Structure 1
Amino acid sequence: MALAELGQVVLDCPDPRALAAFYAEVLGGTVEGDGDWVDVKTPDGRSLGFQAAPGFVPPAWPAPERSQQFHLDLTVADLDVAERGVLALGAKPLDAEDRSRSWRVYADPAGHPFCLCRC
């Protein structure tokens, strides 16, 4: 028996609205809220939160002195199409050179690592 149910994943960032807009485009969701806390509601009913973090320092991947601490795995049907989309929205490639793998690593506009993973 579970002790708890996962409610939401929340990312610290310098500009919650801007980062929520990025993920809303990537995930096909809608942005709700404004100010220091903003949510993205996805079509499947899940929610991803973003909160303002003064002094935010983005992780450096892969660097043990500034660990990524967590990352999102985003499942896609076509890695090349998804890659073009996230790059157009402001993502930066971190480890996307190996085209033989079923995943590629990027940083969102605030610097959080995420992976596009072929389903």
Structure 2
Amino acid sequence: MAACENNHLDTVKYLLRAGAAVGHKDIMGFTCLHLAAKLGHYDIVHHLLSKASKYINNQDDGGWTPITWAIEYKHKELVYLLLSKGTDVNMRDKVSNRVHFFCCWSQELYVFVKST
């Protein structure tokens, strides 16, 4: 997880080849994909999705998915990537918000997310 958090792509690749668990969660329910999406590490997110796309809609303890974190921190390129890989924009977090709610800061993102 530290490699994903600190944007060390070569280390992430090495650890995955060695059998690291992509779906492992920390004490807040974050996976590596959550951390990389939150911090805007595009190459890490892209690589993780190429190896384990089934985790794209995993929810953390608050019900947030990687796309929710990418939107919250305004990582537009990551939002587009996650949408292109099939993230579910209709999932709800623990207080019943959908991804559309988090797009309020950007009309462009709202229109794009709404159209998928």
User: TM-score by structure 2 length?
Assistant: 0.24
1 or 2 for the larger relative contact order (CA 8 Å, sep ≥6)?
1
Q: Which has more helix, going by share of residues?
A: 2
